[in-house]
């Protein structure tokens, strides 16, 4: 009894220290629901199942209702058909399926009960299968096509819905003659199986390497002492497939032969199995794209993205590669000189296995920044409230903590977002911020309910959740965040805002539906706030002495350290994107003859540095399964993010400028995916896009 009481108490202490302090002040959720009604909106929370049986019964009821809705939809006489009872009805059905999927995903990732998590995962698989089977229903496709073919007069957002749905059917192969379509479907299934095989081979790849203590000179003792590393025979086992093992060696081992051995093993992971699989994948993807009418798989994949086609993505990457030339060369020369001094050999050549080691040396010797020491400035609660104040100010919003009617775990908090000027509720968000057993172990924004127009014309307000794993507070010690945690917090909360502010008529066009090479940009943009002294001074203070702010010199030193290796780091990212495109922007005939190892290694050599001889890094490049022809998107979004951030930088109020904030809310966040994001970005910037802010960030002056 006693021990279970103590455990309960400690869970309570960890999870709800702030809630307990502010509980008396928590507002009533029902008051906001009433306010929402006055503004012709509906503020409704999701109901979460509390038993595995309830997960099953809710899912079964949703599928039954969806089957009935679909049956009624396809049973309509063609004379009765119009936009509302065809395309809008399908969007509403997609919306209710997406909401159920979002709820199940949250439960699967965060429920306290393993049985509930398990049953939510199973239910989600059923839901996905249902969605796939709906995509391939020919009767539904023909019905929608018949409406689209009449070319009804529609509003812009309605037309966008019709265009997207018909485009996605075409992309799935439904527009092909029946025999052709069957081939595409068969190939798609083969593709799915091969893609899974590629990922499994990566997950299963192991490369144990044994070293003597002498061979590992320079590697931190704490690493050598870890139980899985130290062997009974006195040697040390390094797993080249485990990233932190590999980093410990590549950044610290003094002996270059040790680093080279590690690099050789790491860059040959999954080689035997995955080179044949990837070779087949590349050919198969090209063949599917060709049957669907595209010149290459990259053209097919990128069609729905902001870049629109492979040529634009390649041009973007190559231009940045060229733009970074001088900075990249200077950085590699700095590293080479460190090696030359180290070996007392002036003509020493920098090898790929030297880069991590000399980069680490450079950061330690020249840019000594103790990031751990910065934690005292970022106690969790003050940081959260500081971030809230900033978002409320720039977006013209008001957040109010309310008593949550239901929480999936102790300590989960609920806030209502309202427009500051009118007081109209805009939606609600949950915070589930600290780790616990069995919970999702990264940081992410989970939609709970997508917003949309209800049948009676009122707006159903969105609900989202932020699920994170910040260090938990302990008795007598607040949770102290790393600066990188604060960056993550600002980033993830940007996604919350995107979900909260978008006002689309259709689920298809919400803020979460924007193209993949754009979706991260608004959040990446908000990361910049955490590098700004004025912003930091609004909330970051030593928790033991509030008068102590972060010294400007410290902020400058962190920025300088980052910039010292940014050229190399960016070129490396660009090389990944270019390898991905080199494998996927080729027509079928070329794909069949592609030597994928030679092509990939040639890109690495040209853009970064010659790889370790006789290696095949590409076999272990996990993004090629699932993010294929999409890797360029990381840098694409980052360039946009910095371009957008520069509008704040030059404004009178800097990163706290309310006028630019309002423009951001109106032109980017509120419009969601209701218009082309290219247009939204240019409306926000009120000028053509520019790469210069990105180059400034890397440290290249115009
Ligand atoms: Zn993100």
Output DSSP code: residue 544: T
Half-sphere exposure of 166 (CA within 13 A, CB side): 17
Distance 522 CA to ligand 1 centre (A): 9
pLDDT at 66 over 60: yes
Tokens of 530: 């955490």
Taking residue 561's Cβ as centre, other Cβ atoms within 10 Å add up to 18
pLDDT of residue 442: 86
Tokens of 392: 């409320």
pLDDT of residue 701: 81
- Whether residue 498 contacts residue 522, with contact meaning beta carbons closer than 8 Å, is answered with yes
pLDDT of residue 8: 25
Distance 196 CA to ligand 1 centre (A): 24
Distance 171 CA to ligand 1 centre (A): 26
- Whether residue 53 contacts residue 116, with contact meaning beta carbons closer than 8 Å, is answered with no
The rounded distance, in Å, linking the Cα atoms of 151 and 70 is 23
Distance 519 CA to ligand 1 centre (A): 8
The rounded distance, in Å, linking the Cα atoms of 307 and 631 is 12
Among 355-359, 476-480, 543-547, the range scoring the smallest mean pLDDT is 476-480
The phi, psi pair for 236, rounded to 5°, reads: -125, 130
The rounded distance, in Å, linking the Cα atoms of 615 and 620 is 11
Distance 311 CA to ligand 1 centre (A): 26
Closest CA to 485 of 466, 498, 471, 473: 471
Distance 561 CA to ligand 1 centre (A): 24
Distance 490 CA to ligand 1 centre (A): 10
Distance 231 CA to ligand 1 centre (A): 40
pLDDT of residue 39: 96
The rounded distance, in Å, linking the Cα atoms of 577 and 594 is 17
Percent of the chain residues topping a pLDDT of 70:
97
Q: What is the pLDDT of residues 289-322, one digit of tens each?
A: 999 999 999 999 999 999 999 999 999 999 999 9
SS3 306: coil
Q: What is the pLDDT of residues 35-61, one digit of tens each?
A: 999 999 999 999 999 999 999 999 999
pLDDT of residue 4: 27
Distance 420 CA to ligand 1 centre (A): 26
pLDDT at 6 over 90: no
The rounded distance, in Å, linking the Cα atoms of 174 and 171 is 8
pLDDT of residue 370: 77
Output DSSP code: residue 674: S
The rounded distance, in Å, linking the Cα atoms of 594 and 137 is 36
SS3 667: helix
pLDDT at 24 over 80: no
Distance 510 CA to ligand 1 centre (A): 16
Distance 291 CA to ligand 1 centre (A): 34
Distance 513 CA to ligand 1 centre (A): 13
52-175: which CATH number, 1.20.1050.40, 3.30.1510.10, 3.30.450.20, 1.20.120.430?
1.20.1050.40
Give residue 473's region: left, alpha or beta (phi > 0; psi -120 to 50). Answer: beta
Distance 523 CA to ligand 1 centre (A): 6
Tokens of 504: 């689309």
The rounded distance, in Å, linking the Cα atoms of 367 and 138 is 62
Distance 221 CA to ligand 1 centre (A): 35
Distance 491 CA to ligand 1 centre (A): 6
CA distances from 188 to 103, 183, 273, 582 (A): 29, 9, 21, 21
The rounded distance, in Å, linking the Cα atoms of 645 and 643 is 6
The phi, psi pair for 414, rounded to 5°, reads: -130, 135
Tokens of 672: 């969601």
pLDDT of residue 368: 80
Distance 488 CA to ligand 1 centre (A): 9
Distance 492 CA to ligand 1 centre (A): 6
Q: What is the pLDDT of residues 643-664, one digit of tens each?
A: 999 999 999 999 999 999 999 9
Confidence of residue 25 (pLDDT cuts 50, 70, 90): confident
pLDDT at 20 over 90: no
Tokens of 353: 């296995």
Q: Are strands 41-42 and 459-460 parallel, antiparallel or unpaired?
A: parallel
pLDDT at 14 over 90: no
The phi, psi pair for 360, rounded to 5°, reads: -60, -40
- Whether residue 629 contacts residue 301, with contact meaning beta carbons closer than 8 Å, is answered with yes
Distance 495 CA to ligand 1 centre (A): 7
Distance 467 CA to ligand 1 centre (A): 12
Considering the chain, what is the average pLDDT of its residues? 92
- Whether residue 615 contacts residue 670, with contact meaning beta carbons closer than 8 Å, is answered with no
What angle in degrees, to the nearest 10, is found between the helix axes of 256-266 and 243-252? 150
Distance 489 CA to ligand 1 centre (A): 10
pLDDT at 12 over 90: no
The rounded distance, in Å, linking the Cα atoms of 3 and 438 is 21
Distance 669 CA to ligand 1 centre (A): 15
Distance 297 CA to ligand 1 centre (A): 25
Percent of the chain residues topping a pLDDT of 90:
84
Tokens of 516: 């993949």
In 122-279, where do the E strands start and end?
208-211, 236-239
Domain boundaries of the chain, sorted by first residue: 52-175, 207-268, 481-565+631-702
CATH topology of domain 481-565+631-702: 1.10.1370
- Whether residue 293 contacts residue 176, with contact meaning beta carbons closer than 8 Å, is answered with no
H/E run at residue 398: strand 397-402
CA distances from 695 to 326, 649, 650, 654, 702 (A): 12, 15, 16, 20, 8
Distance 106 CA to ligand 1 centre (A): 17
Distance 629 CA to ligand 1 centre (A): 19
Q: What is the pLDDT of residues 590-629, one digit of tens each?
A: 999 999 999 999 999 999 999 999 999 999 999 999 899 9
CA distances from 213 to 35, 236, 259 (A): 68, 7, 14
The rounded distance, in Å, linking the Cα atoms of 339 and 351 is 10
Confidence of residue 21 (pLDDT cuts 50, 70, 90): very low
Distance 443 CA to ligand 1 centre (A): 9
Whether 481-565+631-702 and 52-175 are alike in CATH topology: the answer is no
Considering the entire predicted model, what is its pTM?
Answer: 0.89
């Amino acid at each position: 009894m006693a021990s279970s009481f103590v455990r309960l108490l400690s869970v309570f202490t960890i999870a709800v220290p702030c809630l307990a302090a502010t509980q008396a002040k928590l507002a009533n959720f029902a008051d906001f629901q009433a306010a929402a009604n006055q503004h012709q909106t509906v503020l409704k929370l999701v109901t979460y199942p509390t038993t595995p049986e309830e997960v099953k019964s809710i899912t079964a009821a949703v599928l039954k209702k969806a089957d009935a809705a679909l049956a009624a939809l396809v049973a309509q006489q063609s004379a009765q058909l119009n936009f509302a009872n065809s395309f809008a009805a399908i969007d509403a059905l997609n919306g209710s399926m997406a909401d159920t999927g979002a709820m199940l995903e949250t439960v699967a990732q965060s429920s306290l009960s393993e049985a509930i998590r398990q049953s939510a995962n199973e239910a989600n698989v059923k839901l996905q299968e249902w969605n796939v089977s709906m995509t391939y229903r020919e009767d539904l496709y023909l019905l929608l096509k018949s409406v689209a073919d009449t070319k009804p007069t529609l509003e812009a957002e309605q037309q966008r819905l019709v265009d997207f749905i018909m485009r996605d059917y075409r992309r799935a192969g439904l527009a092909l003659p029946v025999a052709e379509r069957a081939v595409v479907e068969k190939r798609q299934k083969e593709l799915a199986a091969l893609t899974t095989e590629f990922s499994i081979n990566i997950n299963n790849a192991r490369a144990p390497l044994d070293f003597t203590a002498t061979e590992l000179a320079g590697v931190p003792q704490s690493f050598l002492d870890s139980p899985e590393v130290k062997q009974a025979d006195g040697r040390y086992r390094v797993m080249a497939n485990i990233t932190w093992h590999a980093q410990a060696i590549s950044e610290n081992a003094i002996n270059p032969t040790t680093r080279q051995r590690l690099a050789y093993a790491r860059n040959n992971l999954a080689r035997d199995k995955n080179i044949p699989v990837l070779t087949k994948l590349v050919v198969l993807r090209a063949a599917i794209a060709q049957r669907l009418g595209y010149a290459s798989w990259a053209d097919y994949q990128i069609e729905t993205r902001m870049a629109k086609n492979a040529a634009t993505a390649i041009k973007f990457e190559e231009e940045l590669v060229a733009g970074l030339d001088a900075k990249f060369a200077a950085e590699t020369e700095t590293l080479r000189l460190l090696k030359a001094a180290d070996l007392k050999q002036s003509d020493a050549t920098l090898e790929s296995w030297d880069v991590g080691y000399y980069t680490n040396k450079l950061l330690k010797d020249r840019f000594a920044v103790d990031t751990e020491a910065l934690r005292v400035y970022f106690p969790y609660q003050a940081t959260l409230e500081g971030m809230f104040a900033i978002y409320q100010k720039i977006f013209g919003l008001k957040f109010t903590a309310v008593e949550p009617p239901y929480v999936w775990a102790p300590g989960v908090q609920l806030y209502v977002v309202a427009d500051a000027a009118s007081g109209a509720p805009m939606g609600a968000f949950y915070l589930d911020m600290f780790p616990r057993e069995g919970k999702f172990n990264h940081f992410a924004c989970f939609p709970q309910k997508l917003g949309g127009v209800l049948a009676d014309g009122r707006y159903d307000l969105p609900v989202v959740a932020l699920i994170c794993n910040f260090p938990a507070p302990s008795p007598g010690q607040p949770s102290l965040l790393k600066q990188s945690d604060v960056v993550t917090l600002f980033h993830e909360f940007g996604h919350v805002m995107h979900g909260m502010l978008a006002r689309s008529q259709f689920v298809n066009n919400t803020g979460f539906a924007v193209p993949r090479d754009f979706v991260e940009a608004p959040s990446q943009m908000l990361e910049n706030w955490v590098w700004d002294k004025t912003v930091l001074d609004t909330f970051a203070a030593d928790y033991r002495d509030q008068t102590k702010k972060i010294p400007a010199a410290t902020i400058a030193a962190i920025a300088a350290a980052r910039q010292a290796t940014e050229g190399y780091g960016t070129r490396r990212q660009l090389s990944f994107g270019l390898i991905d495109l080199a494998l996927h922007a080729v027509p079928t005939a070329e794909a069949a003859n592609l030597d994928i190892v030679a092509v990939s290694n040639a890109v690495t050599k040209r853009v970064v540095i010659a790889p370790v001889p006789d290696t095949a890094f590409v076999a272990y490049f996990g993004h090629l399964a699932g993010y294929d022809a999409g890797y360029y998107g990381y840098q694409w979004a980052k360039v946009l993010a910095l371009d957008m951030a520069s509008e704040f930088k030059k404004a009178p109020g800097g990163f706290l400028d309310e006028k630019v904030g309002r423009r951001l809310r109106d032109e980017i966040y509120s419009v969601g995916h209701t218009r082309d994001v290219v247009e939204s970005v240019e409306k926000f910037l009120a000028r053509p896009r520019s790469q210069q802010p990105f180059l400034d960030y890397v440290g290249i002056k115009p």
